Structure 1
Amino acid sequence: MRKGLRINQLVIPLAALALALAACGDEDPPPPPPPPGFTPPVPGQPIVPVQPVVPGQPVVPGQPVVPGQPVVPVQPVVPVQATTTIALAPGFMPDPYVEAGTSGGPVDASTWDASCRGYVAATPNHLFNAGGSFTTLRLLVSGGTEDTTLVVQKPDGTYLCDDDSSGQDPILAGHTFPQGTYKVWVGSYQEGIFAPYNLGFTELSSVNVSTLGIPGSMVGTTPRPPPPGDMRANFGTITLSPGFSPDLHRATGSAGGSVEALTWDESCAGHVSEVPDHLFIAGGNFPFLKILAHSPTDITLVIQRADGSFLCNDDADGTNPAISGVFPPGPYRIWVGTYQGGQRPQYTLGLSERPSMSPSEL
């Protein structure tokens, strides 16, 4: 019995050794080297599945592959524009107040209010803080060649919207703006369009879209005429009443300046100073008055009425301007400009109640 036990004890280890030696002779060949460009996984970081490429569609990096589902295209980058705050009170200066920005966004404004048009950003482009109640305030947008829209949310949550009141540009007019905070969006009529714009706030009837300047330019710093009540004048004040004598009243000065009169009113021409050259006080109602100027250089004439509107002329008599008509009593500001910038020629200004008066007689 003891010998049998020893034989069995030897047979089992020998069999195990034989199996081990047989396995050594059947080893698998080493794995092939990784293909060019292969990046081994980093321990501790998840493996991102490789996404199949669909011809004609961009891929989204890191998007997991779901068999049978198409690849989602990459969305276009939407410009991020910070909301700017505009604080104005009735009678603000300069008028117009202008802010620049970029129109457009992913939101269809008609989903907010059926009267609204265009695509806007999710957050407003501007916050308008009205420091008092406005009764004649208008909001205008100059979008250049792009079709823009305007969306304003009032403090009570309702909307004021406009599209194409001035060609392709919107204007909000005829609304009262009580004191409070208003959200303002400038949209693009077509989805996916992001265009520069100028947004203007004005209480003057003479301001129009062209006054706002080139879209995207910060023209809010363009000098405006002095505010009402400012009695300054470069070459003094002229006070006349109907029937004045002698008829012709003359004044002299130097024409020109750094301001393009076109930025005040599109009917005006030439380069003028910010402060008027003359302040004319009409002491009564003039049924007819002619204001004219003469200079050897090509000059222009700009007159601002008391209500802020303008009368302008260029080349009524050769290269000399003249303006005539009814002049009710009140103050008038008079500028004599130069058609070309950078010039400061001498001129003679004349005021007459005679229709036949011409600049050459000055």
Structure 2
Amino acid sequence: MRYIYLSALFATFVCFYTTSAYAQSSPASKTPVLAAPESEQDINALSKAVVQIRTPNSTGSGSMVVYQGRLMVFTNRHVTEGHDSVEIAILKDVHEPAVPTFRGELRVFSAEYDLAVYEVNEDIEGRTVTAEQLNTSDNPWEYQLPQLEFIDADDVLSRGTPLALLGYPGLAGDELVYTAGIVSSVQMTDFNQKRMVAWYRTNAEMSPGNSGGIALTNDGRVIGIPTMVAMEERTGGRLGSILSIPLAFAVMQSDDLLTSWDDYYNPDDHLNPEGEPTYGQHTLAGSQLNLPLTAGGSRSASYLGELCTGYAAENPDATLTLREVTERLTIEFNASESTKDATMVVRAPDNSWHCNDDREAGNLNPGLYLEQAQPGDYQVWVGGYQPSDFFSGNVTAYSAGVETTTAEASGAFNLNGDPLYGTHQLSAFFLPDPHSIEVVAGGNVDISETIDGSGCTGFAAANPDVRMHFSGSTAGLKAYFVADNPIEDATIVINTPDGSWHCNDDAHGSTLNPMLDLATSGEGRYDIWIGSYRQGNYISGKLHFTEMSVEVP
């Protein structure tokens, strides 16, 4: 079954989505409403309710609110997909980046609608946190949670109504960004026999990372959750979609909720992001990729959202890896026969889904164009419009305008950047040993101009490839990289917990693979970069951590 019915748990949610929330609204209101801020338009005050959500491999946005004394975070399902626990970063100062402070635990999410809810009960150090503590700033976190007002389900904004978005787009790092626009169109729906707004479309700027934040009217009412962007290639037109907050609350009071990602990933008719790509993994490093493949399958993409259609294979057809932020990532498919109607689905590194049927009028071939594409893996499915409609064609993919980050421009690594291949926790005597992570080495930062020292050479990405937190006492911790192709020449750079830099080119005279001994570096955070000896050369392989004696191959 795709859905489960939440008996006891559902009763709990009905309670704090009705009793507590309605206590501060009119008796006739059917949408939870909390007290409005004293100032009708105080962006700085509202900003502190918008949080940054961090998973080991992505970031997104959310809104933190209080229901019946419980701290809850609303976000998009795709922001946190697959994660039972997330890190919550807050604005302690509205003019500074968000600070990781709390931890959220999954409570429920919707398989049909892009919505998830997490509860906050503790901070990242394990200390208990309550809603009552956040009523004022006199608490261990020096943070006061503002109250939000939500638009009523009976209110429908008209085209041309001004609105604003608050969120944490990836291109701004950990900074909260405000953008403004208007309501471009409104899509209505019937939900549980009630007519209400499903989506607001907007011309307000929306980028990856904005997902899960809030959309506001000029008087400070929350109207919805920024969720996705559609783009038309020929004109460059962009249209953002905002999931309406009345529909989100209605969904949360329905029976069709899930509490476990296992119940979401395992249905027989879903795409499988964990599957091996049928036509391989490919790194986009400046040149255009042309990949012949066979489109089609039996898995419907319609469950991913209104823009997703067609039928594709269970596993991705291909995985495309970006090493740097690029202004635009283009992925197109051209069928060998012009009469074939193909569709495309792409899952980005932040777990967001992007879909297209026809990239322009009169063309049955799909294409996706992702602005400010972030580093990481992009999984690609190419489907047919009808089930089990298989046909040949060619995927074309390329990145344009590799963006030079502040770190690259200044000749320094970005220690605050999100690691490209995730954050990992290890403690002394860890198992299995070695702990291995697949990475692709290389980048545009000249290591020799960034760090002085023996073995500090090659070219790497601005952001760390891997971040590792180590605890405990060990006498033999080492990190080494082994390239898939033994003739490739890789290098390694590590910033250790005491802030010092360590580099290596070759572990010994008989290998081109690098290794660093970390036995005396102690507990704490390690940021690791894997470089290539030549600029523009990208090397696939594995980064290994071990406490054993090892001869690097």
TM-score by length of structure 1 reads 0.43
TM-score by length of structure 2 reads 0.29
Of the two, which has the highest radius of gyration? 1
Task: Report the structure, 1 or 2, having the larger strand content.
Answer: 2
